[in-house]
Amino acid sequence: MINNQAEDFTIQSVLDLGIRYLFGPIQIANARRKGKKIVAGFLPPMELVFAAQNTLPLFLPRLTEFPFSKYIGIVNILNQLHLLKPLISYYIRNQEHLSVGYFDSFNQNEFSKIFTSLIQLAEKAEFYMDTCVQTRICYGALIKNSKLIDLIVGGLEGDYCLHFAKFYERMANFKPVFYFEKPYGDQTNSTLVDVVTAELHRYIAALEDLSGSTITDNRLRKVANINNEIRGYFREIYNYYIKGYVPVHTVTLLLIHGCYVDFLSDIKYFQDTMRNLVFEMRRKYRKGLPNYRKENIYRVIIAGSPGFDPILPSTFENAGAVLLYLDLFESCMRYPSINTTGDMFENYANYLLDLNIKNGISDLIDVWMGIAKRTQADAILFSNVWGCRFTTPAYRKMKDLVNAELGIPIFPLDFYSPGEGIGQVQTRIGAFIEMLK
Amino acid sequence: MQSAIIDEAIHNLKIYREKGFKIVGVVPHGMVPEELIVAAGAIPIRIALGGKDEQERGDNYLSSTTCPFGRATLGFFEEQHPLYTLVDTVIVGTFCNGVQNVANYLNYFQKASVPLILPHDRRDSSFNFYINELKKIQAYLETLTGNRCTLRTFTGAIQEYNHLRALLREINDYRKKDNPPVCGRTIHQVVGQALLLGPKVMIPRCEELLQQLRGTPKPYSGSRIFLTGSGITLGDSILEVIEDKAGGLIVADDLWSSMDYFLEDVPHFTDPLRALAEKYLRKSLSGRMIPESEIRIPKILELYRDFRAQGIINHTLKYCDSYSGLKPEFRRFMSRQNIPVLELDRDYAEANIGQLQTRIEAFLEMIE
């Protein structure tokens, strides 16, 4: 049996992460009232922003307000009083006989509607629509929330995707943008080391200017220590998957990815919650994680573009499989922690170089192949996010490699916008899982 | 005319190969110094063919939202086009995703390649990074050819290309006239030949053309258009549509397939790679560089005025990220300068040519 996604919210720390994620609009409004500066970004990691005082990183789509967001204040209070978890457990046990406004409104269709409304905002602002859903959503989120932002940070992804680079150039029409140049390569290229070091100093200076505070070696070290600890938790979670268990639902994996972009604008909170999550997983693991044994559950990893319809995980469950989105976890496994002794500028530059792309899409194909091998996946879903120029053209290459090295099925699935062609998607996935059986 | 250029290139390259020269294909539009390839004793040819059938063949490798150029390039390799089969190795890199995607599949056609990693800005650290990339390419080419690049070979190559560029500028300047003896197609054809045949063939040919232009050749007329956006590949019919069918006259542009090729010379140098980087990185008009307001947009305005254009056609190949993402900003900026802009977005499929022609005709009527 595979758990329903709602059951993950009986894990206290998943509940905490989810509520804090939805709490974004209130959290940022409070921060603005207190005079904090907001730095928007779209891809991880943005933790360096925490090294500046009175400055917060923000993943803009986290400001999205859902219909259930209006209850978030009371839900938060219930959670702090430790009443929410038992309520959810009760709801799950009796959901066939209950109709509860909050839970009823918490469904994937609402996600689709909200994200579609952001895409429509982008379209109205003449955004370049022949592009991936992620940038369409992020641009809509920028249009909606630009008043809240003091600085936009980007560029690291612009090196592999020219559209992303131009996306940031366009954003500079609204707000100051810091574009971090980081061409492909590694530490063996001394001129690349110079570029990254120069860019890091420029970035730190921009943050110092914005915050009016000095970013010291000690502050960088403190942030690095926390980041290392968090990435350590990711490795531990990933190990459960490698051992053949599925400790949390894919929606929770998505939530963790989303939280990692800006560390929920509160690095300490994110650190504590991830620590708690791992403690809870250890407890569950010791008890045998009865509902998550590998037997009879087809494990399908997702490769390709980082984005898919929110309805996809439950579609897989209904078909008798589990979809695993583990890119971030694999990257934590592959790349070393930040060195926290000595010169922290140099250490951060080295860390950025460790994370850097060396050989274009081949690096990502290595990551996906690594996940498939480590988790002994039964199949691979290749997400063709329409308009993604970096990942979708790699399908043929990935398919040839999977056929040659793994001998498991690989299944391409197109995705343009949330909520589109759901019936057809469900039919195709059902047929695919039947074929696996 | 274009197939004649390609046939001539194939003929020439076969002779070079028989003589033992290595042929180096160049994919990144306008940001790889061909002088470097010549200095290493190899023969450069620009990967610059486009075609509808090959674009469809390319769909076997790349997704449909990859630029038509990238897809067509793989299509030409797959069908073993005689020009591309002659290539020994290909310079690829991070110009854009289309170029990166071509690189990802070249080994399917047993073609070796080397990436030129390009920064997006022109800051000093990026400039030095680019020079280092040129060093990497130089070492690769030296291994390929067994020749050393020396100050003498660099000087020879750079002088030859600067000479060709000076001649091309002289030809191009005729477009400033009221009824010029050259049009957009003329310049594209001459640059197209240069991309495939190189300066040795093209210098005498350009001198001959200049002789003809000093006489009284037939003048061209039409609404004066500045053309910007994606480069025009050999085999693409859009210029015929604008000039022959719709009655426009392209008087200037900023395309890698035309004026960006020859507007800037490589400066005098003591360090040849640094001098090449000055032209090919710092002075590049390419829309993939950031921000466009630094070099590209001011240059467009300067050329627009110098060549007395009456409107701009902003032509993009579908999914060409260098030019598509900021089209509304470009249009609004030009509107503030009272410059009308027509946006065209297309691929190599010819089904919508009639519709394009109608839109261009309407635009030309409007700016007259």
Determine the distance in angstroms separating the CA of A151 from the nearest CA of chain B, rounded to an integer.
17
Which residues in chain A are contacts of B120 at CB distance < 8 A? Answer: 155, 158-159, 165, 179, 181
Q: Please indicate whether, in this complex, the C-beta atoms of B96 and A162 are within 8 angstroms of each other.
A: yes
φ and ψ at B335, to 5 degrees? -60, -40
Q: Classify strands A321-324 and A298-304 as parallel, antiparallel or unpaired.
A: parallel
Short-list B25, B28, B195, CA closest to B99: B28
Short-list B258, B260, B256, B186, CA closest to B220: B186
Q: Please indicate whether, in this complex, the C-beta atoms of B126 and A195 are within 8 angstroms of each other.
A: yes
Give the pLDDT of residue A106: 56
Residue A291 has pLDDT above 70, yes or no: no
Torsion of CA B357, B358, B363, B364, to 10 degrees: 70
- What residue of B is the nearest CA neighbor of A194? B125
A387 touches chain B (CB under 8 A): yes
Q: What is the pLDDT of residues B154-203, one digit of tens each?
A: 999 999 999 999 999 999 999 999 999 999 999 999 999 999 999 999 99
**Overall average pLDDT of the A367-393 stretch:** 95
**Overall average pLDDT of the A240-262 stretch:** 88
Report residue B261 as tokens.
């090729």
- What residue of A is the nearest CA neighbor of B118? A183
> Class of the B2-152 domain?
alpha beta
Q: Could you state, in order of their start, the residue ranges of all structural domains in chain B?
A: 2-152
Torsion of CA B248, B251, B253, B259, to 10 degrees: 130
Q: What is the pLDDT of residues B59-74, one digit of tens each?
A: 999 999 999 999 999 9
CA B301 to chain centre: 20
**Overall average pLDDT of the A107-128 stretch:** 85
SS3 B311: strand
Distances (CA, A) of B147 to A308, A425, B39, B153: 51, 57, 9, 10
Which residues in chain B are contacts of A397 at CB distance < 8 A? Answer: 104-105
Q: Please indicate whether, in this complex, the C-beta atoms of A389 and B321 are within 8 angstroms of each other.
A: yes
In percent, the amount of chain B with pLDDT more than 70 equals 99
CB-nearest to B97 from A162, A168, A184 is A162
Determine the distance in angstroms separating the CA of A124 from the nearest CA of chain B, rounded to an integer.
12
A343 touches chain B (CB under 8 A): no
Q: What 3 state SS string does B26-59 have?
A: ECCCCCCCHHHHHHCCCEEEECCECCHHHHHHHC
A315 touches chain B (CB under 8 A): no
CB-nearest to B324 from A128, A360, A392 is A128
Determine the distance in angstroms separating the CA of A267 from the nearest CA of chain B, rounded to an integer.
31
CB-based burial label for B368 (10 Å; 0-12, 13-18, 19+): exposed
Contacts of residue B312, Cβ cutoff 8 Å, sequence gap at least 6: B225, B226, B227, B228, B300, B304, B334, B339, B340, B341, B342
Residue B358 CA to residue B246 CA, distance in Å, equals 8
Q: Please indicate whether, in this complex, the C-beta atoms of A198 and B325 are within 8 angstroms of each other.
A: no
Give the pLDDT of residue A99: 59
Which residues in chain B are contacts of A360 at CB distance < 8 A? Answer: 94, 100, 103-104, 115
A174 touches chain B (CB under 8 A): no
Give the pLDDT of residue A1: 40
A173 touches chain B (CB under 8 A): yes
A327-344 burial by CB neighbour count: b if 16+ within 10 A, else e?
Answer: bbbbbbbeeebbbeeeeb
Q: How confident is residue A293, by pLDDT bands cut at 50, 70 and 90?
A: very low
B69, B99 contact by CB (below 8 A): no
Q: How confident is residue A308, by pLDDT bands cut at 50, 70 and 90?
A: confident
Residue B58 has pLDDT above 70, yes or no: yes
Q: What 3 state SS string does B80-139 have?
A: CCHHHHCCCEEEEECCCHHHHHHHHHHHHHCCEEEEECCCCCCCHHHHHHHHHHHHHHHH
Q: Which of A162, A178, A190, A358 to mutate to test the interface with B (most CBs of B within 10 A)?
A: A162
Residue A295 has pLDDT above 70, yes or no: no
Short-list A137, A102, A106, CA closest to A123: A137
Residue B210 has pLDDT above 90, yes or no: yes
Q: What is the pLDDT of residues B80-114, one digit of tens each?
A: 999 999 999 999 999 999 999 999 999 999 999 99
**Overall average pLDDT of the A385-390 stretch:** 93
Give the pLDDT of residue A10: 77
Give the pLDDT of residue B89: 98
Determine the distance in angstroms separating the CA of A357 from the nearest CA of chain B, rounded to an integer.
11
Residue labelled with tokens 């060396």: A358
In percent, the amount of chain A with pLDDT more than 90 equals 64
Q: Please indicate whether, in this complex, the C-beta atoms of B65 and A386 are within 8 angstroms of each other.
A: yes
CB-nearest to A396 from B61, B131, B319 is B61
Domain A216-244+294-437 has CATH 1.10.760.10: no
B121-151 burial by CB neighbour count: b if 16+ within 10 A, else e?
Answer: bbeebbbbbbbbbbebbbebbbebbeeebee
φ and ψ at A74, to 5 degrees? -70, -35
Residue B294 has pLDDT above 60, yes or no: yes
Residue B53 CA to residue B343 CA, distance in Å, equals 25
Q: How confident is residue A103, by pLDDT bands cut at 50, 70 and 90?
A: low
A208 touches chain B (CB under 8 A): no
- What residue of A is the nearest CA neighbor of B322? A162
Contacts of residue A1, Cβ cutoff 8 Å, sequence gap at least 6: A291
Give the pLDDT of residue A67: 76
Q: Please indicate whether, in this complex, the C-beta atoms of A388 and B65 are within 8 angstroms of each other.
A: yes
Q: What is the pLDDT of residues A15-74, one digit of tens each?
A: 999 999 988 999 999 999 999 999 999 877 799 999 999 999 999 988 888 777 778 888
Which residues in chain B are contacts of A160 at CB distance < 8 A? Answer: 94, 97, 100
- What residue of B is the nearest CA neighbor of A127? B325
Q: How confident is residue B204, by pLDDT bands cut at 50, 70 and 90?
A: very high
Q: Which of A132, A191, A362 to mutate to test the interface with B (most CBs of B within 10 A)?
A: A191
Residue A288 — left, alpha, or beta (φ > 0 → left; ψ -120 to 50 → alpha)?
Answer: left
**For residues A18 and B304, which has the higher predicted lDDT (pLDDT)?**
B304
Contact map slice: A 48-107 vs B, CB within 8 A:
none
Mean pLDDT of chain A: 89
- What residue of A is the nearest CA neighbor of B294? A169
ipTM: 0.93
Residue A239 has pLDDT above 80, yes or no: yes
Which residues in chain A are contacts of B328 at CB distance < 8 A? Answer: 126
Residue A411 has pLDDT above 80, yes or no: yes
Residue B12 CA to residue A428 CA, distance in Å, equals 53
A217, A344 contact by CB (below 8 A): yes
Residue labelled with tokens 């060409």: B320
Report residue B68 as tokens.
């038509």
User: Sign of the CA dihedral B69, B74, B78, B81?
Assistant: positive
Residue A294 has pLDDT above 70, yes or no: no
**Overall average pLDDT of the B230-238 stretch:** 94
A210, A185 contact by CB (below 8 A): no
**What secondary structure letter does DSSP report for B60?**
T
Determine the distance in angstroms separating the CA of A35 from the nearest CA of chain B, rounded to an integer.
31
Residue B76 CA to residue B80 CA, distance in Å, equals 6
A234, A332 contact by CB (below 8 A): yes
CB-nearest to B120 from A131, A181, A185 is A181
Which residues in chain A are contacts of B324 at CB distance < 8 A? Answer: 128, 130
DSSP conformation letters of B232-276:
PPBT--HHHIIIIIS-EEEEEE--TTTHHHHSSPPPP-SSHHHHH
- What residue of A is the nearest CA neighbor of B116? A184
Give the pLDDT of residue A252: 87
SS3 B179: coil
Determine the distance in angstroms separating the CA of A379 from the nearest CA of chain B, rounded to an integer.
21
Q: Please indicate whether, in this complex, the C-beta atoms of B65 and A394 are within 8 angstroms of each other.
A: no
Q: Which of A15-19, A263-267, B214-218, B263-267 has the least mean pLDDT?
A: B214-218
Short-list A193, A215, A218, A219, CA closest to A204: A215
Residue B65 CA to residue B59 CA, distance in Å, equals 10
Short-list A193, A131, A150, CA closest to A40: A150
Beta bridge partners of A58: A40
Q: How confident is residue A289, by pLDDT bands cut at 50, 70 and 90?
A: low
Which residues in chain B are contacts of A203 at CB distance < 8 A? Answer: none
Q: Please indicate whether, in this complex, the C-beta atoms of B100 and A388 are within 8 angstroms of each other.
A: no
Q: Which of A113-117, B45-49, B202-206, B293-297 has the least mean pLDDT?
A: A113-117
Residue A366 has pLDDT above 80, yes or no: yes
A6, A92 contact by CB (below 8 A): yes
Report residue A105 as tokens.
């409104």
Residue B97 — left, alpha, or beta (φ > 0 → left; ψ -120 to 50 → alpha)?
Answer: alpha
CB-nearest to A191 from B65, B132, B291 is B132
Q: How confident is residue A102, by pLDDT bands cut at 50, 70 and 90?
A: low
User: Sign of the CA dihedral A255, A256, A261, A265?
Assistant: positive
Distances (CA, A) of A426 to A2, A315, A319, B27: 18, 6, 9, 41
A199 touches chain B (CB under 8 A): yes
Contacts of residue B337, Cβ cutoff 8 Å, sequence gap at least 6: B301
Give the count of Cβ contacts less than 8 A between chain A and B. 129
CB-nearest to B63 from A126, A184, A384 is A384
Contact map slice: A 256-275 vs B, CB within 8 A:
none
CA B254 to chain centre: 9
Q: What 3 state SS string does chain A have?
A: CCCCHHHHHHCHHHHHHHHHHHCHHHHHHHHHHCCCEEEEECCCCCHHHHHCCCEEEEEHHHHCCCHHHHHHHHHHHHHHCCCHHHHHHHHHHHHHHCCCHHHHHCCHHHHHHHHHHHHHHHHHCCCCCCCCHHHHHHHHHHHHHHHHCCEEEECCHHHCCHHHHHHHHHHCCCCCEEECCCCCCCCCCHHHHHHHHHHHHHHHHHHHHHHCCCCCHHHHHHHHHHHHHHHHHHHHHHHHHHCCCCCCCHHHHHHHHHHHHHHHHCHHHHHHHHHHHHHHHHHHHHHCCHHHCCCCCEEEEEEECCCCCCCHHHHHHHHCEEEECCHHHHHHHHCCCCCCCCCHHHHHHHHHHHHCCCCCHHHHHHHHHHHHHHCCCCEEEEEEECCCCCCHHHHHHHHHHHHHHCCCCEEEEEECCCCCCHHHHHHHHHHHHHHHC
**Overall average pLDDT of the A111-127 stretch:** 89
Q: Please indicate whether, in this complex, the C-beta atoms of B322 and A384 are within 8 angstroms of each other.
A: no
Most confident of A67-76, B2-11, B305-314: B305-314
A397 touches chain B (CB under 8 A): yes
